[in-house]
Structure 1
Amino acid sequence: MATDLTAALAASVTVLLLFDRWFVLAALPAAWVLGLALHGAYQQHCLREGTQEFRRVLRAAGLIAVGASAAWWFVPEAGPLHDTLFALPLTVAATLLLRQARRLRMRAAWHHGRNLERAVVVGPASSAADLISLLHRNSDCGLKIVGVCLTDPAHAGRVVPDGVPSYGGVDDTAAAVRQSGCDAVIALPSPGLEADELRRLSWQLQAAGAELLLAPVLADVAAARVAVTPFAGLPLMELHAPTLSRFPRIPKELTDRAFAAAGLVLLAPLMLAVAALIRLDSPGSALFRHCRIGLRGQEFTVLKFRTMYQDAERRRAEFSALNQYGDGALFKIVDDPRITRVGAFLRHWSLDELPQLLNVVTGRMSLVGPRPLTPDETFALPEDIRRLRLLVKPGLSGLWQVSGRSELPLEERVRLDLSYVENWSTALDLRILARTPGAVIRGTGAY
């Protein structure tokens, strides 16, 4: 609220200095905070909701604009209406900017383990273990699991290795909240958590000052695709269909090609230097060409800087026993002896990916999308997963690349790619692009 008040005051003072009128300074700051409050901008967790927060701010601005227009109808003096409509865009821009700055400070604190919301998980051991693993990989989500109450306490060993204590069964949840001092309880889908049990749990948590969060049955669904629709007093969760048609993606394709072309121009000196280093380090071409499967199953040639010796493909059978994915279609070795000295450096900093900008310019790839797979990798996937994955172009960066890359198990990488396809939005692309530099600098899973 103080942040939003500061934004409104700054815009109001600007209007005062420009037009020497006090009306906006006297009325706008209070009206702005009230408008935001009416649209839920001060609810708990509102700063986590990027697109929803944007809508709340715009709706508050629209409400004030309508109010100023109504006041002008009864008091036809142009000054107040003119000043209000002039100040509103400034207020909206300042509010969004300050809120984003606060969100970034919050995420930085969460990443370093500060100001975390503490939660106890209630549900099956396997689901609890998956959730703990997910939160561990996303250290800047602001949530820390401090205990579990399981519907199957005998399987607590699946969770305990992650350093999270088990407080017993579902009936022990209230005691777990008191002992752990947590802020929330996350209930996972389970036959052992019926409606009556959840209702009693919500009453107990209300008395303890903790909130109850219900995880949906369907995982990996973006919040923008979910809406609560009441029927006969029963709140039903409505799941909107994913955006898979090409028309909404036209701006994405145009932007991809424009930014990739600009990147090629700006990075040309660096790419020439890298190519020269590769040729000096080992014999062979500086570029590596490989067949990949793209949009609607079409084959294309992906371009990367060569990071291995020329005979790497012929020597693959020698090291098959070291493949971290077993005997499947995927092939990856930690400290692969076929990688050159320059190649190891390029992989660590993801510089070997730069020639793929040419694939983006030609329309074969996007800046953000699922990982481009080889034909063997593609046809090793189940048919339904393969069909969904091929509805979009593969990307230079993506969800799995910014979530740990090769450190992730194969199932997790497939899940993240499918999650991107089903939940695609421009905001998701922007978040992935914003996380990409950090993933490159950390170098996790880059080998």
Structure 2
Amino acid sequence: MDFAFDARTEELRAKLLAFMDEYVYPAEPVAHEQRERLASPWENPPVVEELKAEARRQGLWNLFLPDSEYGAGLTNLQYAPLAEIMGRSPQLAPTVTNCAAPDTGNMEVLTQFGDEQQRKQWLEPLLAGEIRSAFAMTEPDVASSDATNITTHIERDGDEYVITGRKWYISGAMHPDCKIFIVMGKTDPEGEDIRRQQSMVLVPHDTPGVTIKRAMQVFGYEDHYHGGHAEVVFDHARVPVANLVGEEGGGFAIAQARLGPGRIHHCMRLIGMAERAIELMCRRAVSRNAFGKSLAQQGVVHNWIADARVTVEQLRLLVLKTAWLMDTVGNRGAHTEIQSIKIATPRAVVDILDRAIQLHGAGGVSQDFPLAELYAGARTLMIADGPDEVHQRSLARRELKRYL
């Protein structure tokens, strides 16, 4: 295993680091200030659009997509350090480089499973950053950690599918530029194979029968930059049969193909969040005095910073190994590692952020520092894309299988 950065990665890292320093970090307070003056909180502040144009101009666009026809053509190993850098400003950086969920996963789905018409109609404007999208899988009335529980019906009626169901925490759905949902539901609810009951269909946002009921908060945050999270009702919404993604019964497999890269992308960004937390801890420690000496001289602070550094280095190596395996043996061959990083990374980063908040005192829970919002995002990732317990169950069963 060789995790050394190649020449292209080094070039993109240098450009992205400079872009963050020159444009992204200075834009964070500007974006917050501009958002307070917008007619709708879901609109992009003007500075976001300016940064998107600059990112495109510099070639820092669609870096996540390994398909060279549509994206940057980077491997997972090449993208990992770039996603880590973007994770240092997880609200702004992924958005302005067109590398933000849920659009990234939806573009991957359309690239791999969409037909020519679907790619032209939806993938191309997504790649250009002209529209946004949403992925509608999670439901409030069932344990969605088991995707086979999904109850949304997708029933064929002649040349149309009729979609009926209720979804929530549908990321991106509140954004005014959200034009398309990828909806997962059951086309064959009585089928013998519970993993072949589901399908995915494309449902335009303005389809009659699609209603945005409300915005969902995450620990009190509304995640405006990523288009928020919504509760969405599909009440006999009709779309052409041509809007089927892939084949009937292929929804579960498509979801797994989508979630593999999504999970590692989250973990890459989490490492960047942890790095920013360490930086903020160090700056705070050397700038504040308590009980006659600086916080940087307090032993407990030494322990927090040292433990954080050790943890981040361990996590980074595991994430890089996972990326390398995904590139060399595929997502299925890297299944154990993908689950391992999904369990380990959010937990560890939550702990680092918790210490950083503690070190900042009242400031740590305020809007004056990014730590509280980073904490909320990291803690959510112990649930999103499969809760820890589901990954632990699967990972343990795979380990035990060798001894049974």
How would you bin the TM-score normalised by the shorter chain?
Answer: under 0.3
TM-score by length of structure 1 reads 0.25
Greater RCO, 1 or 2 (C-alpha within 8 Å, sep 6+)? 2
Which has the larger Rg? 1
TM-score, structure 2 normalization: 0.26
